[in-house]
Amino acid sequence: MAKEIKANHSILELIGNTPLIKLNKITDGLVGNFYAKVEAFNPGHSSKDRIALYIIEEAEKRGILKPGDTIVETTSGNTGFSLAMVSIIKGYECILAVSSKSSKDKIDMLRTMGAKVYVCPAHVSADDERSYYNVAKRLHEETKGSIYINQYFNDLNIDAHYKTTGPEIWEQTNGQITHLVACSGTGGTISGTAKYLKEMNPNIKILGVDAYGSVLKKYHETKEFDTAEIYPYRIEGLGKNLIPTATDFDVIDKFTKVSDEDSAHTARELAKKEGLFVGYTSGAAFQAIKQFAEEGEFTKNSNVVVIFPDHGSRYMSKIYSDEWMSEQGFFDSVNNEESQKIEI
């Protein structure tokens, strides 16, 4: 009899079950034990593979999607890539309405993955019919057999992490996790993971990461939507200028805000000290750990799990470009090796 060929049926089988990796050097001077859940190991290189697969398969189970139907969403980021990837394997059309602010690289990448990309003007307000929100809504309404993912307002975004990320971390730590540190954008990752972990052990502390320029931390503390908190910042995927219903604020104990500059340097430090080539928000998440440590959050018995959402390759023209870092003025305040170019 022919021997079995040990192949996966498709890349979709590789979504989830990402490794938990002990951090060994960047933690010098910190009290506690620190472990990273590295989501770049997903085939689409980010945690968004989980929600793309979960939401599409839920729609299939409910009979809303059948082969040849269409997936619609409004992002040029990780979610767009993951939806395009899952759509290829499962035989769906994928339509993404993106802002003209999106880089050419990102748009090319989505088109390479078979998505139909509509580039919409960035300068119009959200209620303008040309905005990417309204273009996506219209395309969804006009396309028979389509679903609108709407990740900021879709409870299935939380469920995806409740069903996968949470149980994985519980099992990988043998239930010994004491703190979870996670970025909040849509809030799906932190909310779903936290909900599961708190059900297993309500004493686990959930520490959220927000950006300067975003409303989430203030809203968590006051239940007030304060527009004075909103101003432009550079980190993509972290924080928000609205309150997403995919965030369950009740399961989060505390937020900290991180800066663009600190997060960029910490991401570069993760590469140099741990060999982990991860994205901008991974830098933000570890920067948050440094800040929480200063606030005295951790003891020597703490087992802290931090989620690193995506891979560094998507940030080559940003935080991993010395030119970009200089343009932002991020080398001005630090006298480190990185700022000293070696001319040959």
Residues labelled as active-site residues: 48
Token pair in block for residue 329: 């003025």
Contact between 279 and ligand PMP (CB under 6 A)?
A: yes
CA angle 268, 255, 308 (to 5 degrees): 35
Looking at 310, 312, 320, 330, which residue binds ligand PMP (CB under 6 A)? 310
Cβ 278 to ligand PMP, closest distance in Å?
9
Question: Which residues are 244's β-sheet partners?
Answer: none
Q: Which is nearer to ligand PMP, 45 or 265 (CB)?
A: 45
Closer to ligand PMP at the Cβ: 131 or 189? 189
Alpha-carbon 142 to chain mean position: 30
The smaller minimum CB distance to ligand PMP, of residues 32 and 188, is found at: 188
283 part of the interface to ligand PMP, by CB under 6 A = no
Minimum separation from the CB atom of position 144 to ligand PMP (A): 29
3-state secondary structure of 207: strand
Q: Which is it for strands 33-38 and 20-22: parallel, antiparallel or unpaired?
A: antiparallel
Residues 249 and 231 sit within 8 Å (Cβ to Cβ):
no
Alpha helices in the chain (DSSP H): 48-61, 78-90, 104-112, 132-142, 155-163, 165-172, 188-200, 216-222, 260-274, 280-294, 322-327
Q: Which residue is nearest to ligand PMP (CB)?
A: 237
- CA proximity to 65, closest of 181, 150, 145: 145
Closer residue to ligand PMP, CB minimum distance, 69 or 216? 216
Q: Are 212 and 218 in contact (CB under 8 A)?
A: no
**Least spacing, CB of residue 188 vs ligand PMP, in Å:** 4
Residue 68 CB, nearest distance to ligand PMP (Å)? Answer: 29
The answer to whether 73 contacts ligand PMP (rule: CB under 6 A) is no
Tell me: does residue 213 bind ligand PMP (CB under 6 A).
Answer: no
Q: Which is nearer to ligand PMP, 69 or 262 (CB)?
A: 262
The nearer residue to ligand PMP, 146 or 189, going by C-beta atoms, is: 189
- The distance of closest approach from Cβ of residue 81 to ligand PMP in the complex, given in angstroms and rounded to an integer, is 10
**Beta-sheet strand order (sheet of 205-211):** 20-22, 33-38, 303-308, 179-183, 205-211, 254-258
Is 16 among the residues that bind ligand PMP (CB under 6 A)?
no
Q: Report in angstroms the alpha-carbon separations of 10 from 13, 87, 228, 292, 294.
A: 6, 12, 47, 40, 45
Strands 116-120 and 93-99: parallel
CA distance 235 to 337: 23
Nearest distance in Å: CB 282, ligand PMP: 8
Task: Give the x/- contact pattern for ligand PMP in 158-197, rule: CB under 6 A.
Answer: -------------------------xxxxxxxx-------
Q: What residues line the site for ligand PMP (CB under 6 A)?
A: 77-78, 183-190, 237-238, 279, 281, 309-310
